[in-house]
Amino acid sequence: MLSVVVRRVLLGLPNIVLISLLLFFSVAGALGNPATLMLGLDATPERIAELEHQFGFDRPLLVQYLEWMAHAFQGDFGRSYSTGQRVADILVPRLLPSVELAVLGIVVATTFAVLLSSLTVARRVIRPIVTLLSLIGITVPNFMLGITLIYVFSVALGWLPTSGWSSWSSGIGLHFLHRILPVTTLAAYYFASFGLVYRAEYRATQRRLYIQVARAKGLSETSVSFRHILPNSILPVITQIGSSLGQLAAGSLVTETVFSIPGIGTLFTSALLGRDFPVFLAVGMITIVSVMVMNLLADVLYVVANPQIRLD
């Protein structure tokens, strides 16, 4: 499997270069002259020309891109136009909240989708509840669900914090209290989406011959469900996870904005509004690489869930 993973990584490098090239040129064309953005509209043409020469903005865009990529592969994304800080120093503190939010959202959505969907097949009494939750997750927009949860559980009931992001040093209890509403908001859509896919595959797998043979051997329904049905039914969900990663990044951005979480999403928004070219590019590149890495992990999870499958 290691050789397959290495080959996939090598094949993905040209895609990263191509996407980064398109990102660089599109952002450079959309945001305008960096020197003017840094100095302001009142700057004299002489001062703008001096700054362009100092930072190399007067060179061809292709030369600027090659230099930027060479530094980016070394972890150097330049300096922020707004604050003058190294972009890497700005990004690092923002990564943990975003990664934690995305991972918890996917884990919670997948876990509850698989468990509750399995129960709806076996026990019809909870089917209306799961159907209602799935309907809410699919139809209610991310930001609207977040605002509603804040009003109900924070403002009206006072059970949970309204916003913010508590660090681990503040205590495990407070840490997870601040994560309940954002993770629920982010996981709602994926719970519904993954649940629909899993239930359809679960019912189809139930009718297969080897499941009937397992039941005929006297295996318990729990054993049949978790040892035989689940490993084969969850594979489409893994595919769904891989294809939803780009959408997950957009959902995380909205969720972080609603709950004032200091993550990559809010950094992306502030960089876009402030036309902070280096920060904007760095966030874009990290998102692209993360999606590709997670797609590779989804392929590996195929083999973990069902060892009979081989990666080519």
pLDDT score recorded for residue 164: 66
Q: Is the residue at 127 inside a domain?
A: yes
Q: Is the pLDDT of residue 189 over 80?
A: yes
Q: Is the residue at 87 inside a domain?
A: no
Give the model confidence (pLDDT) of 174-188 as tens digits. 778 888 888 888 888
Q: CA-based Rg of the chain, rounded to a whole angstrom?
A: 24
What is the pTM assigned to this prediction?
0.73
Provide the percentage of residues in the chain whose pLDDT is more than 90: 0
Residues 55, 105 within the same domain: no
Please name every residue paired with 79 in a beta bridge, in sequence order, or none if there are none. Answer: 86
Host domain of residue 117: 96-273
Q: Is the residue at 118 inside a domain?
A: yes
Which of 39, 74, 109 is the endpoint of a domain?
Answer: 74
Q: Is the residue at 279 inside a domain?
A: no
Residues 103, 68 within the same domain: no
pLDDT score recorded for residue 5: 65
Predicted confidence band of residue 221 (pLDDT cuts 50, 70, 90): low
Q: Is the residue at 258 inside a domain?
A: yes
Residues 48, 126 within the same domain: no
pLDDT score recorded for residue 30: 63
Alpha-carbon distance of 279 to 275, in angstroms, equals: 9
Q: Is the residue at 231 inside a domain?
A: yes
Residues 179, 48 within the same domain: no
Residue with tokens 């070394």: 74
Residues 152, 219 within the same domain: yes
Please name every residue paired with 86 in a beta bridge, in sequence order, or none if there are none. Answer: 79
Give the model confidence (pLDDT) of 132-187 as tens digits. 888 888 888 888 888 898 888 888 888 888 776 777 677 787 778 888 888 888 88
CATH number at residue 240: 1.10.3720.10
Domain count, the chain: 2
Closest Cα to residue 98, out of 217, 308, 268? 268
